[in-house]
């Protein structure tokens, strides 16, 4: 087996096409759109970013991975992501991480991220293989966890998801929701006429509200720009809601329709048939994903999160959404895990983030 670094467009195409040799057509895996993958990859090759491709003795690609140095709050790590590996290439992860340790011996390796923890497709699925993935969430073979641990990586943090049924409602949190209303908190929907302004408000809320969460990194200009694209293309404004008090946005609940049933079977390519399906079925989706909930710390204890949640159940039901998933919640985030259960959430999947200590 040989490991090479991607340097050309032809190698990048092979890198992008690795999932095609791993996942059968009847798999639950849904291939991300190629243009989105390229957007997350960014410009390559680059001094601090490396895409590696493993080929077998016949010269056929059998595994891939990406590495990127990452600095946040004066701490520097080597993040890895975009990992895919054929079952017969169990030595590939060891070769990949040996390459990374040799090149960056003083950096701890973490991931999979693409290349930040707040980016889509974070983690490796380790529980819940009998469930379909929701939009922008990963799916992978069961052996990935074993292969990564065999390469020396250890569990760093688990991410939980919860399955929701709209008909169950959120009766258990109604008293907290009513408290927020009594304290003058109201709800408004996303305004598509001012998407940039709305994205900046979301970033402001999440940057403060989630700042104490393990691994969270602030939304900066590049992430706000990506959010604007996301809002314009994939968001249903009916299910992005803000909590408002005294004319100020103090909380936000961001939901994303589950587009995976539309994307599945198109191999990551934007085709005329995919565009037609997207345009004709996007308002008929019945699945929805809870992407993020944040409330400014000054307003904790008023029931703002509960008000956003109960409002979303009502709004989502009217919009035709019946099934949902909260994805994801940090394993050590007790309040959010309890809130997820209180609204009828059923724990259904676990995704794992790994670490490999520096030499």
Mean pLDDT by 10 residues, the chain (359 residues): 94 95 94 91 88 95 97 92 97 98 96 92 97 96 98 97 74 82 95 95 95 89 88 91 97 95 92 92 90 94 92 90 92 90 89 89
Output the pLDDT for position 42: 87
DSSP codes, 295-351: E-GGGTTS-HHHHHHHHHHHHHHHTT--EEEEEEEETT-HHHHHHHHHTT-EEEEEE
As given in the structure block, the two tokens for residue 153 are 């990586």
| Domains of the chain (ranges, CATH numbers) | 2-158 (3.40.630.30), 170-343 (3.40.630.30)
Output the pLDDT for position 344: 82
pTM exceeding the 0.75 threshold for the entire prediction: yes
Query: Distance of CA 190 to CAs 92, 129, 319, 337, 338, Å?
Result: 45, 34, 14, 26, 27
Pairing of β 323-330 and β 287-295: parallel
CB 51 within 8 A of CB 114: no
As given in the structure block, the two tokens for residue 276 are 């037609």
Residue listed under structure tokens 């259960």: 341
DSSP assigned state of 31: P
């Amino acid at each position: 087996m040989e490991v090479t670094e991607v340097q050309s467009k032809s190698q990048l195409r092979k890198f992008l096409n690795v999932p095609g040799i791993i996942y059968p057509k009847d798999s639950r895996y849904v291939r991300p759109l190629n243009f989105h993958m390229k957007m997350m990859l960014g410009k390559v090759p680059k001094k601090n970013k490396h895409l590696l491709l493993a080929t077998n003795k016949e010269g056929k690609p059998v595994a891939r991975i990406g590495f990127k140095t990452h600095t946040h709050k004066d701490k520097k790590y080597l993040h890895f992501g975009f990992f895919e590996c054929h079952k017969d290439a169990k030595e590939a992860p060891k070769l990949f991480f040996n390459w990374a340790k040799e090149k960056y011996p003083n950096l701890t390796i973490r991931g999979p991220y693409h290349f930040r923890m707040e980016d889509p497709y974070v983690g490796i699925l380790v529980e819940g293989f009998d469930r379909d993935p929701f939009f922008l969430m990963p799916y992978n073979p069961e052996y990935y966890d074993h292969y990564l641990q065999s390469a020396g990586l250890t569990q760093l943090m688990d991410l939980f998801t919860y399955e929701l049924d709209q008909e169950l409602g959120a009766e258990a949190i109604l008293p907290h929701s009513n408290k927020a209303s009594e304290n003058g908190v109201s709800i408004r929907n996303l305004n598509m006429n001012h998407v940039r302004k709305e994205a900046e408000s979301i970033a402001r809320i999440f940057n403060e509200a989630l700042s104490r969460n393990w691994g969270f990194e602030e939304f900066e200009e590049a992430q706000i720009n990506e959010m604007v694209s996301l809002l314009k293309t994939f968001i249903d404004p009916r299910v992005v809601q803000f909590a408002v008090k005294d004319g100020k946005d103090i909380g936000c609940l961001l939901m994303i329709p589950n587009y995976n049933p539309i994307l599945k079977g198109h191999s990551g390519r934007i085709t005329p048939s995919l565009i037609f399906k997207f345009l004709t079925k996007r308002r008929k989706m019945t699945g929805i994903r809870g992407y993020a909930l944040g409330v400014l710390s000054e307003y904790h204890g008023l029931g703002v999160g509960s008000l956003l949640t109960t409002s979303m159940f009502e709004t989502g039901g009217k919009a035709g959404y019946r099934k949902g998933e909260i994805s994801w919640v940090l394993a050590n985030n007790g309040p959010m895990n309890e809130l997820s259960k209180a609204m009828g959430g059923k724990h259904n999947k676990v995704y794992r983030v790994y670490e490999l200590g520096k030499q």
